[in-house]
């Protein structure tokens, strides 16, 4: 396939991820041509991504496609695309709350939304799920200011805060309809508060849950066990065959060590996350608040308020979540979710994709946009 020889692009850090941000109008309208172009932009398939923008890890091989929204409840539309590192694959079957942190500032930078004098609020429709998010960030003098005192674990230094609130969505919090399921002989809680996630007590799969991501990735027996759980849980959650999908995520739960509510080790889906995704953390927090869930007896819930600290390998993520536990007649539901992230513009200019090759692009995995 062929495509443009050069493309306008902004490289941004969003939360604890990094990705290439594009206006939809700057990319081919045809999905196959777009995906082919993005593979060449990011340097995939290649474990080093040496010939593109990718950073040889799923957390740095991400793409945001942004456009004005036709939805009266939103200002812009955001499509997240995960570009595989070592495979010729681009998928939209998951969302990304970290890359989401950069969407509002990018929309202002590209003129899709007018900046306020002090602060700008951008309503974002997340096309992967159809749900909404509202991002607020400083724009003194009508310009995005990336400097500030907000710090997040996994990112050195500080930057301006981006407050993201997630209005209550339409998807069921418990995709299986049950607070506990037994999957491959393991009790789990399947939850979706923006990211389909399977919560698993770490001890149930033979680990403490405090191991390093590297050690966990090298545990082949653990990898086989988690794969079996993920495939079966995916079917139970209505996601179909998830063999080639990046959802559901698996979050292993262990007691906190540094004053938080819980310690997590999250798989995305094979690599162990060096921190935790925003929407994954939102799902963990909501799951911990469910009476009867597998987090009972593991997590230490805050005595007051909605703010919960989720510990992960690089530190912690603070998230505010409240849940209506429901009743025999009414299913549990999330009342509110909000998180503070940061974002930073790294580079704005033109990217030159490598020359088009002859390797075919595999068909997009079926099963819906998640």
CATH annotation of 7-168+344-351: 3.10.310.10
pLDDT at 366: 46
User: Which residue, among 297, 176, 295, has the nearest Cα to 237 in the 3D structure?
Assistant: 176
What is the value of pTM for the model shown? 0.78
For the 181-330 domain, the top CATH level (class) is alpha beta
Residues of the chain with pLDDT under 50: 358, 360, 366-370
Domain ranges (residues) in the chain: 7-168+344-351, 181-330
Please give the share of the chain, as a percent, with pLDDT higher than 70.
Answer: 95
DSSP helix/strand/coil, 215? helix
pLDDT at 361: 54
The enclosing H or E element of 36 equals: helix 31-42
pLDDT at 362: 54
Contact 269, 247 (CB under 8 A): yes
pLDDT at 210: 98
pLDDT at 358: 45
The secondary structure of the chain in percent helix, strand, coil, rounded to multiples of 5, reads 20, 30, 50
Mind giving me the DSSP string for 241-293? --TT---SEEEEEE--SSSSSEEEEEESSSSBPSS--HHHHHHHHHHHTSTTS
In sequence order, the β-bridge partners of residue 166 are 337
The torsion region of residue 28 among left (phi > 0), alpha (psi -120 to 50) and beta comes to beta
- Cα–Cα distance for residue pair 56/44, rounded to 1 Å: 9
Question: Exposure of 136 by Cβ count < 10 A (0-12 exposed, 13-18 middle, 19+ buried)?
Answer: middle
User: Which residue, among 33, 60, 35, has the nearest Cα to 49 in the 3D structure?
Assistant: 60
Token pair 């798989």: residue: 267
Contact 112, 103 (CB under 8 A): no
User: Which residue, among 34, 24, 37, has the nearest Cα to 107 in the 3D structure?
Assistant: 24
Chain CA centroid to CA 54, Å: 17
pLDDT at 202: 98
Contact 184, 229 (CB under 8 A): yes
pLDDT at 170: 72
- Cα–Cα distance for residue pair 6/96, rounded to 1 Å: 26
pLDDT at 364: 55
328: Cβ contacts below 8 Å, ≥ 6 apart: none
**How many residues make up the chain in this entry?**
370
> Beta 196-201 vs 186-192: how paired, if at all?
antiparallel
Sign of CA dihedral 46, 49, 52, 54: positive
pLDDT (tens digit, 9 = 90+) per residue, 59-86? 999 999 999 999 999 999 999 999 999 9
The enclosing H or E element of 356 equals: none
In this structure, how many other beta carbons lie within 10 angstroms of the beta carbon of residue 42? 29
User: Which residue, among 281, 282, 289, has the nearest Cα to 311 in the 3D structure?
Assistant: 281
User: Which residue, among 38, 31, 124, has the nearest Cα to 82 in the 3D structure?
Assistant: 38
- Cα–Cα distance for residue pair 233/184, rounded to 1 Å: 9
pLDDT at 2: 65
Cα-Cα-Cα-Cα torsion 158, 159, 165, 170, nearest 10 degrees, comes to -90
Contact 159, 15 (CB under 8 A): no
């Amino acid at each position: 396939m062929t495509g443009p020889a050069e493309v306008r692009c902004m490289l941004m850090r969003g939360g604890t991820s990094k990705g290439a941000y594009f206006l939809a109008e700057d990319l081919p309208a045809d999905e196959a041509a777009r995906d082919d172009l993005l593979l060449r932009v990011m340097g995939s398939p290649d474990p080093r991504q040496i010939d593109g923008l990718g950073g040889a890890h799923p957390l740095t091989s991400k793409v945001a496609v942004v456009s004005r929204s036709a939805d009266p409840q939103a200002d812009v539309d955001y499509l997240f695309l995960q570009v595989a590192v070592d495979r010729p694959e681009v998928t939209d079957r998951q969302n990304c709350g970290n890359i989401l942190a950069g969407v509002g500032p990018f929309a202002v930078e590209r003129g899709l939304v007018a900046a306020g004098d002090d602060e700008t609020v951008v309503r974002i429709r997340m096309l992967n799920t159809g749900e909404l998010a509202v991002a607020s960030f400083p724009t003194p003098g009508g310009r995005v200011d990336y400097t500030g005192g907000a710090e997040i674990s996994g990112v050195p230094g500080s930057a301006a805060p981006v407050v993201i609130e997630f209005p209550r969505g339409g998807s069921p919090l418990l995709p299986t309809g049950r607070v506990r399921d037994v999957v491959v002989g393991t009790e789990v809680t399947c939850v979706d508060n923006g990211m389909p996630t399977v919560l698993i007590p770490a001890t149930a799969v033979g680990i403490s849950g405090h191991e390093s991501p590297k050690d966990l990735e090298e545990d082949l027996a653990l990898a086989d066990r988690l794969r079996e759980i993920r495939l079966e849980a995916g079917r139970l959650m209505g996601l179909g065959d998830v063999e080639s999908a990046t959802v559901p995520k698996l979050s292993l739960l262990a007691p906190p060590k540094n004053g938080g509510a819980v310690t997590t080790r999250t798989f995305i889906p094979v690599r162990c996350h060096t921190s935790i995704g925003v929407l994954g953390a939102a799902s963990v927090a909501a799951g911990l608040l469910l009476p009867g869930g597998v987090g009972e007896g593991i997590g230490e819930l805050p005595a007051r308020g909605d703010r919960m600290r989720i510990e992960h390998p690089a530190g912690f993520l603070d998230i505010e979540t409240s849940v209506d536990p429901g009743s025999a007649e009414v299913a549990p539901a999330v009342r509110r979710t909000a998180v503070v992230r940061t974002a930073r513009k790294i580079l704005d200019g033109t990217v030159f994709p490598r020359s088009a090759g002859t390797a075919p692009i595999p068909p997009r995995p079926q099963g819906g946009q998640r």
